[in-house]
């Protein structure tokens, strides 16, 4: 990955702090879309800047480097996905295992909306970890651990309600789920259809200790 130097401050500065915040948020949104489709190493800054209408030299007014830009995108995506998980896995109006199915359905609907061209930023970046700055390793693992904790809590609800055996290792199963889920998302994107996600979730649920 070509590293963008942090010492340069070219381009027209924003007119106000409000404008700066709005443009920065726009760059993060455009970068998020780019990283759901392409890996971080190949994602071009120039195309993202053009989408937001920001002159090429002004990038440094908003981010010190492409690395810092990528971390900002990760933080934003982590917040978005945690909200999605809380709406499904944390939905107490559903039986715990039905929440897992609701999560899958929510993701499938989102992917279908974009013809399965967009995947998971965390999974995409994890696959290229050897070619991007080391700082991403801990951040990516931390995000996945947060997702695991949310699923483990849902599975513990399933134990409490009698859906699962009281000897269930919810933490280990949550880690297993996310390892397989990311592979299923990649395959769904490859095949441009939801079947890999359906197969994975169906077999994950079938294999749970009752």
**Quick one: pLDDT band at residue 191, thresholds 50, 70, 90?**
very high
Mean pLDDT score of the chain, rounded to an integer? 90
Residue 80 within any structural domain of the chain:
yes
Q: Is residue 99 part of a domain?
A: yes
| Confidence tier at 17 by pLDDT (50, 70, 90) | confident
21 within domain boundaries:
no
Q: What is the pLDDT of residues 70-106, one digit of tens each?
A: 999 999 999 999 999 999 999 999 999 999 999 999 9
Alpha-carbon distance of 132 to 145, in angstroms, equals 20
- Residues of the domain holding 173: 66-206
Is there a contact between 150 and 89 (Cβ–Cβ < 8 Å)? Answer: yes
pTM for the full predicted model: 0.85
Q: Confidence class of residue 7 from pLDDT cuts 50, 70 and 90?
A: very low
> Does residue 59 belong to any structural domain of this protein?
no
CB within 8 A of 193, min separation 6: which ones?
Answer: 116
Is residue 37 a part of any domain in this protein?
A: no
Q: Is residue 52 part of a domain?
A: no
In the chain, which ranges are E strands? Answer: none
Residue 72 placed within a domain: yes
- Does residue 30 lie within any of the structural domains? no
| pLDDT tens digits, 119-153 | 999 998 999 998 889 999 999 999 999 999 999 99
For residue 34, the tally of other CB atoms under 10 A from its CB is 21
pLDDT at residue 148, as a whole number: 98
Total domains, the chain = 1
In this predicted model, what pLDDT tens digit does every residue of 51-69 receive, in sequence order?
Answer: 888 888 888 889 999 899 9
pLDDT of residue 16: 67
**CA 30 to the chain's CA centroid:** 14
Give the distance, in angstroms, between the CA of residue 68 and the centroid of all CA atoms in the same chain: 17
Q: Are 132 and 1 within 8 A, CB to CB?
A: yes
Whole-angstrom distance, CA of residue 69 vs CA of residue 79: 16
Separation CA 129–CA 55 (nearest Å): 30
Surface-to-core class of residue 88, CB atoms within 10 Å of its CB (0-12 exposed, 13-18 middle, 19+ buried): buried
Domain CATH for 181: 1.10.357.10
């Amino acid at each position: 990955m070509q590293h963008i130097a942090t010492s340069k401050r070219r381009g027209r500065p924003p007119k106000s702090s409000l404008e700066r915040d709005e443009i920065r948020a726009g760059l993060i949104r455009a970068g998020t879309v780019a990283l759901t489709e392409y890996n971080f190493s190949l994602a071009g800054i120039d195309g993202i800047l053009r989408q937001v209408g920001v002159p090429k030299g002004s990038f440094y007014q908003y981010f010190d480097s492409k690395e810092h830009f990528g971390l900002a995108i990760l933080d934003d995506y982590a917040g978005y996905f945690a909200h999605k998980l809380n709406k499904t896995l944390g939905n107490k109006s559903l039986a715990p295992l039905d929440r897992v199915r609701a999560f899958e359905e929510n993701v499938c609907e989102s992917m279908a909306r974009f013809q399965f061209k967009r995947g998971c930023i965390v999974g995409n970046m994890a696959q290229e970890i050897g070619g991007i700055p080391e700082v991403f390793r801990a951040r990516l693992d931390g995000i996945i651990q947060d997702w695991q904790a949310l699923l483990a809590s849902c599975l513990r609800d399933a134990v409490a309600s009698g859906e699962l055996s009281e000897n269930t290792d919810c933490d280990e199963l949550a880690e297993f789920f996310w390892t397989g889920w990311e592979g299923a998302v990649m395959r769904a994107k490859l095949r441009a259809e939801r079947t890999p996600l359906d197969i994975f979730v169906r077999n994950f649920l079938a294999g749970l200790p009752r």
